[in-house]
Structure 1
Amino acid sequence: MVQLYADVLLMIMLELQDDISSLHSCVLVNKSWSRIAVFFLWKYISRINEITYSRDRDSRVKLYKVIANFLPIESENLLINNNIILPSYKLPRKPTFEYMNYFTQITPYWIRDMVQLFIKEDSTHKKNLLETQIYNLIFVNCKNINHFHLNTDIEFYKFPSVGSFFLNLQSLLINFDNNNMVTSKTLFELATICQNIKTLEVFYCNEDSKGLALFIEMQHNLRSLFLNFIDNKNKYPLLSNVVKEKAATLKTLMTTPLIDPGSFLSLINLQHLELINHDGDEPYNCYKNVDWKQWEDCLDKASFPNLRIFEATLIPSSIECLIIEKSDKSIIEIDICCSREFQDYRAKNLNLIIIISKYCPNLRSLNLDIDPGNLCEINRIFSNCTVLEKLSFNINVSTLSDDGDNLLEIISNKSPLSLREFSGDDWNFSKDGLEAFFNCWKCKKRNPIKFTHRYMDLWHDDQKNVVSKYMKEGVIKL
């Protein structure tokens, strides 16, 4: 029974792991609850992003005092000798928990926040010194890190304990933002001690970095790679070549079309591909200097027999169609956001619908931009994609489409019995259209459907009442 009790507690904490207020309450129940809740509480803290650290200053100061309590005496003396006096932080006795071991991720956000809160004066030297000691503390005391976010100019690779810290690290995010704090020298050094990364994310890359290319090359079992570029004038041959070299192990690739399409000729083991044709900071600003003819020529020779998930944002339809055709009918999930700026959008959108219906018989999830003029053509998808479970059709315009009732009628009459979820954020649905859809669903005794709409809170009461009615009857599930 004791083991069962612990298992039940663990299940409770798993449900509450993103609810920090409830986790705080669990800590106060008793020792058994506290022991498990504290672990999840610190795990939550280690995942906090940049935005969250702008809130609740007092709580953050208390947190940082606990962290500072673990600074070794050498660090304390070094800080004192440099006139860095931290807030009173010494606990009356040894902490009940080894809190630093509960960190599972390290991000630079809380480290910089801690430095800013503890050092009020405008002294770069003092702030760098404290930041250095915090990183040293992390490398010595944090034994369970599975993800590290690198965005610092601290020469951490010189620390004695850094080798063991990075030896078994499997997930790394390299962020070149913030005035290129991560240099090629840092990556050259890191490549000698960190070679077991399975998941690598690179953000704001603005040069064909030799250090980054070498670091990627040195990874023994790289399975997932995300490359985000901000300089669309470069061609990045070094990084393109290293992608080719890692083709044997790569299962997931998320990148922009700035990479050489020749890299894709070797990616036969790829299971998840995402192509993003825009600057992350400007989501509708497509890259202008991409040679799409070269892409078509390369993809025509490529093969993706293991591809399961395909995502594309603002990529020409011809490129999307080629990738789907080369997938050996293995794709189970598609998420495509089209650009209406491409010429002959409606005709190309129709061709994409035809290609999906023809080459994706095992499709389970589809999120697709669709021209309202092609609405009647989605029957093709329903006829051939007979195991479809999740569906979302978008129209990629600023105003909602009034063809929503027609869409609902097609879905209720033609969609496969496997469909469990539908999202129609870009469509207007009338009260009568909703009533007809859900009543048809009910009469056919189909499985409950998860029905979502981004603007449902703005609907008229009669529309909301229809949804509420069929939710109570079990036709709609949450």
Structure 2
Amino acid sequence: MFMNQIPSLKELIYTPLENIKISDVPKVIFSYLPGAKNCLKDLRVFKCNSNICSEFFYQLSRICHNIQFLDIELESEITNGLIVFLSAQQNLKYLKLKNNLVDLDWTAIIPSLIKHTYTLTKFNLCGEGYLPMSFMASFNNLKELVIRCSSDGGKVDSIGDFKELQYVTFPQLKILKFCYGHPHKVFLINFLENNGKNLEEFSVIEEDNFLKFIIAKFCPNLKKLFIIFEKDDLKGLKLIFKSCKQLESMKFWCSDKEHFLDKNEMLEVIIKYSPKNFYELKFYGIKYLNLLSKDLELFFIGWKNRVSQNLLSIIILLNVIRKLSIEKFDNEE
């Protein structure tokens, strides 16, 4: 009945309600419902769980072939229906896979993923346990790669077989983000040597001072950067500002002053050395960032003497939601 009332559905989110498993919901033969084909044939965005019955994916694969944004949470054994559904897509551009089980083997879907070598431009891979990723070497048109690995507390080598990607070149890659986990330093350095020149945004939770030198050397065109600066690492910050002339935004980890950059020293370096197009500061920390109004006042006094074409935005990101009253500062010349 509802499908007859929707001539062309563009987005579908099919996930279980709280305390209700999709497997407990009666099977629906979509292909037999009145108006199903016309309603779903132009579907562009689809979000779902892998624990949907295999028959559902079989049905959908007969109707939907042009999904561009696909978000799948892997919570059960990979079914043949899901594999067929992935293979049936002809214009997949954005894929997000989240593995919620440490021991889940989802390598069975890799052949279906490789099929989208020429269309896929954004790939978001996250989850628990070992994350296979050598298959991504064929994604020549990839523009954005985001990897979230929560296993081993984000320790070194927690990100699957990134070793297999260290010498692969992605000519279109602009955005690279590692959240929580990160590859072994050597693998990451080799990867940046091959791909850093084209990067415009890079994020990694890593404290190694040598990595600052690598970023400055191989990533000259960065516009956004998030990396951890340890205490007394002002030289690394200055080096990045000197080498990355296109830099517009940086996020700093400021959880405590004993291990990370002193906020006042950091602000002083930002005033003196940040590129002319720099306009955004983000502060992130587990503990409360003790950024006093007098600190900001001194910072703004120094900032107003800079030559800048943009408004300055200051954003504070905390585990507990807080709001800073000062959001933007208009430069005075």
Pairwise TM-score range, normalised by the shorter structure:
0.7 to 0.9
Alignment of 1:336-351 (within 5 A): 336=204, 338=205, 346=207, 349-351=208-210
Match for residue 312 of structure 2? 449
TM-score normalized with structure 1 length = 0.59
1:457 is displaced (CA, Å) by 6.6
CA distance in 1, matches of 2:180, 2:284: 19
Aligned with 2:60 (options 173, 190, 198): 190
- What residue is the counterpart of 2:162 in the other structure? 295
1:187 partner SS = helix
Alpha-carbon contact 1:409-1:437 (below 8 Å) kept: yes
**Structure 1 contact 256–276 (Cα < 8 Å) conserved:** yes
**Residue 216 of structure 2 aligns to which amino acid in structure 1?**
S
Matched, 1:263 2:135: yes
Indicate the residue corresponding to 2:87 in structure 1. Answer: 217
Please say if 1:170 is aligned against 2:36: no
2:177 matched residue in structure 1 = 311
Residue matched to 2:112? 242
Change (3 A) 1:290 1:410: closer
Q: Indicate if the aligned counterparts of 1:393 and 1:424 stay in contact, CA closer than 8 A.
A: yes
What TM-score, normalized by structure 2, do the two folds share? 0.82
SS at match of 2:197: coil
Q: Does 1:208 align with 2:103?
A: no
Distance change >3 Å, CA 289–CA 409, structure 1 → 2: closer
Q: Residue type of the partner of 1:439?
A: I
Any conservation in 1 of the 2:155–2:182 contact (CA below 8 Å)?
no
Measured after TM superposition, the shift of residue 376 of structure 1 is 2.9
- Residue 141 (1) aligns with residue 1 (2): no
4+ residue runs of structure 1 moved beyond 6 angstroms?
397-400, 455-459
Q: Higher helix proportion, which one? A: 1
Aligned to 1:391: 250
Is the CA contact 1:333–1:364 (under 8 Å) kept in the aligned structure 2? Answer: yes
Q: Would you say the 8 A contact 2:229–2:261 is kept in 1?
A: no
Unmatched runs of 5 consecutive residues or more in structure 1 = 1-135, 339-344
Give percent identity, aligned residues only: 21
Inter-CA distance 187–286: structure 2 relative to 1 (3 Å threshold): farther
1:295 maps to a residue whose letter is F
For 2:45 and 2:296, the matched residues in 1 are separated by 45
Contact preservation (8 Å) 1:405, 1:428: no
| Alignment match, 1:354 | 213
CA apart distance, 1:196: 0.9
Cα distance in structure 2, aligned partners of 1:267 and 1:170: 21
Given that residues 423 and 452 in structure 1 are in contact (C-alpha distance below 8 angstroms), is that contact kept between their aligned partners in structure 2?
Answer: yes
- Distance of aligned partners of 1:232 and 1:140 in 2 relative to their CA distance in 1, 3 Å threshold: same
Rg larger in structure: 1
Distance across 1 between alignment mates of 2:89 and 2:33: 21
Distance 1:419 1:194, change over 3 A: same
Corresponding residue of 1:41: none
Q: 1:286: how far off?
A: 4.9
Aligned with 1:369: secondary structure? coil
Against the structure 1 CA distance between its residues 227 and 233, is the aligned structure 2 distance closer, same or farther, given a 3 Å change threshold?
same
Separation (CA, whole Å) in 1 of partners of 2:168 and 2:192: 11
1:110 corresponds to which residue? none
Alpha carbons 1:213, 1:239 under 8 Å: kept: yes
Contact 2:154/2:182 (<8 A) preserved: no
Higher strand share: 2
Question: What SS does the aligned partner of 2:58 have?
Answer: helix
The question of whether the paired residues in 1 share the 8 Å contact of 2:167 and 2:191 is answered with no
C-alpha distance in 2, partners of 1:291/1:199?
24
Tell whether the 8 Å contact from 1:304 to 1:328 is kept in structure 2 after alignment.
no
Aligned to 2:149: 277
User: Once the two structures are superposed, what CA deviation does each residue of 1:248-299 show, in whole Å capped at 9, x if it has no partner?
Assistant: 11101101374422212101110010101027xxxx855999575x421x11
User: In the TM superposition, what whole-angstrom CA distance separates every residue of 1:32-52 from its partner, at most 9, and x where no partner exists?
Assistant: xxxxxxxxxxxxxxxxxxxxx
In 1, Cα distance between equivalents of 2:305 and 2:155: 49
Does structure 2 retain, via aligned residues, the 8 Å contact 1:369–1:396? no
The 1:259–1:166 alpha-carbon spacing in structure 2 relative to 1, beyond 3 Å, is: farther
| CA shift in 2, pair 1:236/1:192, >3 Å | same
Distance 1:163 1:286 in 2: 44
Q: Residue 269 and residue 443 in structure 1: after superposition, are their counterparts in 2 closer, same or farther (change >3 A)?
A: same
Which has the bigger relative contact order, CA under 8 A and spacing at least 6? 2
CA distance in 1, matches of 2:323, 2:13: 39
Relative to 1, partners in 2 of residues 1:375 and 1:260: Cα closer, same or farther, differing over 3 Å?
A: same
